[in-house]
Amino acid sequence: MTRKNLGRATLAALPFVLAFLVDLILFLVLKDRLPTRLAGHFDVSGDVNGYVDRTTYVLVTAPVLPVLGALWVLMVVGGRFYGRAHRLLIGGGWAVAAFLQYVLGAALIVNLDTPDGAAAGRFPLWHLAMALGAAVLAGGIGLLLARLVPAPEDPRAGKSPADRERIALADGEVAGWARTTGSWWLPLSALVIVATGTGLGYGVNWFLGVPLLVIAVPAITFSRAHVTVDRRGLTVSGLLPWPRFQLPLERIEAADSRRVDAVAEFGGWGYRIRPGRTGFIVRSGEAIVARQRGGREFAVTVEDSGTGAALLNTLVDRNRAGR
Amino acid sequence: MLFRVDPTSTVPLGDQIAASVRRAVADGAVTPGERLPAARVLADSLGVNVHTVLRGYQRLREEGLIELRRGRGAVVTEGASPRRAQLLERVREVVADARELGLTEEELLTLVRAELGA
């Protein structure tokens, strides 16, 4: 790791380490005043609707901050975030860490001095507002601190669109490229969401179940996605004609085929929005990465991405020439 | 896979779509078991009629390059090797040449049979 990267990694890890330490100290100081059974789940009005025992609570919540911290370090060091996107990523990490620190800390405080077996305190909704406030404040601090380390420069900034591959098309010839992308875990995760949503709906309440079932709809339609490159631009559509993601030719500057890393560049799989980029990511590996005017990137992981990107560049040229 | 059609050409659009698939199988860009885009998706993409695409797919099915299954769409068959696709291309060339020379269907078939019997 270079020295600059070490500085960036430290800045990314710092909020998560701090948040973890604050929560740890809070827990150790307050340990004797906590009941053995904690109120760990609250309904929309702030009343307790679930209890966990103290050890389970610690085991479940303790890894959250370190795991997210590690993810952020990975994204900052290996995620190809450049310039402004790099600073936004660091600021975002500070905001997430502060939000979680506040919520985890507040959950301990509302349980203080509750005798075992007695009804625990409530988790008033203003705690959530405070958590959001803490996130905004910490995010701002993160953005300022991010200016201390130079943001990495985009190595592709100077690359001219003319260097990229094209597909020779005759005048008037119409070309389209289509490919199915998918993975074994996509239908599986849609099923898991439906099952969890239905289970929560019947078992707990439908306020929790229905949102999950709503999320399941795009998960089901995109369990097999079609990626097309044609006169309309770059489109990712699911089993149904709608919803779909479409990037028209006019908004594309150029396209590349390159390897993307799902975790480092997008922080995971699925439809991902990150500073400076959006992606439909089902795996790490080759992808069509379309660079929009203004520098934002849209990535789709798909096989034979070289042909798709070459056709996209050809069609973008043709569109610009007004044919 | 890449599909290209030229609306100004005299070759029917359905045949041009079939030729795109044949070419992709011949250069190994498409392998057995792969699913072709749904006819509706491809028709929207190229701006042609769905029936035109289906006519092209039907032709590929007759050549044994794809299977059409209800609900699963068009799938490249196990037997669709690059060499088979190249052979189909050559058969098309032979037929075109024979027509140009003014050979009748029977005359061409006799030539092929003679070669097969040799």
Q: Is residue B4 part of a domain?
A: no
Q: What is the pLDDT of residue A127?
A: 84
Is the pLDDT confidence value at A1 over 60?
no
The label of the residue with tokens 């990037």 reads A247
Q: What is the pLDDT of residue A234?
A: 94
Q: Please give the DSSP secondary-structure letter assigned to residue A13.
A: H
Give buried/exposed letters for B21-52 (b at 16+ CB in 10 A, else e). bbbbbbeebbeeebbbbbbebbbbbbebeeeb
C-alpha A164/C-alpha A156 separation (Å) is 12
Q: What is the pLDDT of residue A308?
A: 92
Is the pLDDT confidence value at A293 over 60?
yes
Does residue B1 belong to the interface with chain A, where contact is any CB pair within 8 Å? Answer: yes
Asked if A307 lies within 8 A of B29 by C-beta distance, the reply is: yes
Q: Is residue B74 part of a domain?
A: yes
CB-based contact A98:A137 (threshold 8 Å): yes
What are the tens digits of pLDDT across the range B21-49?
A: 998 888 888 888 888 888 888 898 899 99
CB-based contact A225:A240 (threshold 8 Å): no
Rg of chain B on CA atoms, in Å: 16
Task: Please compute the mean of the pLDDT values over residues B55-60 and round it to a whole number.
Answer: 93
Residues in chain A: 323
What's phi and psi for B67, nearest 5 deg?
-115, 140
Domain hosting B46: range is 13-117
What are the tens digits of pLDDT across the range A194-216?
A: 888 888 888 777 777 788 888 88
Q: What is the pLDDT of residue A133?
A: 93
Q: Is residue B1 part of a domain?
A: no
Edge to edge, the sheet with strand A252-260 lists A252-260, A285-292, A297-301, A277-281, A270-274
B63-70: long-range contacts at Cβ-Cβ below 8 A with a sequence spacing of 24 or more? B63/B18, B63/B22, B63/B88, B65/B21, B65/B22, B65/B25, B66/B21, B66/B36
Mean pLDDT across chain A: 84
What are the tens digits of pLDDT across the range A6-50?
A: 888 898 999 999 999 998 898 888 888 887 777 766 665 666 666
C-alpha A87/C-alpha A146 separation (Å) is 5
Asked if A177 lies within 8 A of B47 by C-beta distance, the reply is: no
Q: Is residue B6 part of a domain?
A: no
**pLDDT above 70 coverage of chain B, percent:** 100
Mean pLDDT across chain B: 89
Cβ atoms within 10 Å of A90's Cβ, excluding its own: 28
Confidence of residue A137 (pLDDT cuts 50, 70, 90): very high
Q: What is the pLDDT of residue A323?
A: 57
Q: What is the pLDDT of residue A209?
A: 78
Confidence of residue B109 (pLDDT cuts 50, 70, 90): very high
Does residue A49 belong to the interface with chain B, where contact is any CB pair within 8 Å? Answer: no
* Residues contacting A150, CB < 8 A, separation 6+: A4
Is the pLDDT confidence value at A272 over 80?
yes
CB-based contact A68:A23 (threshold 8 Å): no
Q: DSSP labels for B52-90?
A: HHHHHHHHHHHTTSEEEETTTEEEE-TT--HHHHHHHHH
Does residue B8 belong to the interface with chain A, where contact is any CB pair within 8 Å? Answer: yes
More confident residue, A317 or A123: A317
Q: Global pTM?
A: 0.77
Of B5, B6, B42, the CB nearest to A178: B42
Confidence of residue A248 (pLDDT cuts 50, 70, 90): very high
Measured between beta carbons, the chain B residues lying within 8 angstroms of A231 are 45, 47
C-alpha A190/C-alpha A213 separation (Å) is 10
C-alpha A99/C-alpha A91 separation (Å) is 12
Confidence of residue A149 (pLDDT cuts 50, 70, 90): confident
Task: Please compute the mean of the pLDDT values over residues A142-160 and round it to a whole number.
Answer: 78
Strand partners, A180: A226
Task: Please compute the mean of the pLDDT values over residues A94-117 and round it to a whole number.
Answer: 83
Asked if A178 lies within 8 A of B5 by C-beta distance, the reply is: no
Does residue A242 belong to the interface with chain B, where contact is any CB pair within 8 Å? Answer: no
Task: Please compute the mean of the pLDDT values over residues A210-236 and round it to a whole number.
Answer: 86
Break chain A into its structural domains and give their ranges. Answer: 3-146, 170-181+224-320, 183-222
**pLDDT above 70 coverage of chain A, percent:** 91
Does residue A244 belong to the interface with chain B, where contact is any CB pair within 8 Å? Answer: no
Is the pLDDT confidence value at A240 over 80?
no
* CATH number of this structure's domain A170-181+224-320: 2.30.29
Q: What is the pLDDT of residue A224?
A: 81
Is the pLDDT confidence value at A273 over 60?
yes
* Residues contacting A321, CB < 8 A, separation 6+: none
Q: What is the pLDDT of residue A122?
A: 66
Best to test chain A binding among B2, B20, B27, B52 (most A CBs inside 10 Å): B2
Of A174, A179, A237, the CB nearest to B7: A174
C-alpha A238/C-alpha A227 separation (Å) is 9
CATH number at residue B96: 1.10.10.10
Q: For residue A53, give the nearest of A65, A41, A64, A67 by alpha carbon.
A: A41
Number of folded domains that form chain B: 1
Confidence of residue A251 (pLDDT cuts 50, 70, 90): very high
Q: What is the pLDDT of residue A47?
A: 67
Q: What is the pLDDT of residue A158?
A: 60
Q: Indicate the SS3 state at residue A52.
A: strand
C-alpha A125/C-alpha A23 separation (Å) is 20
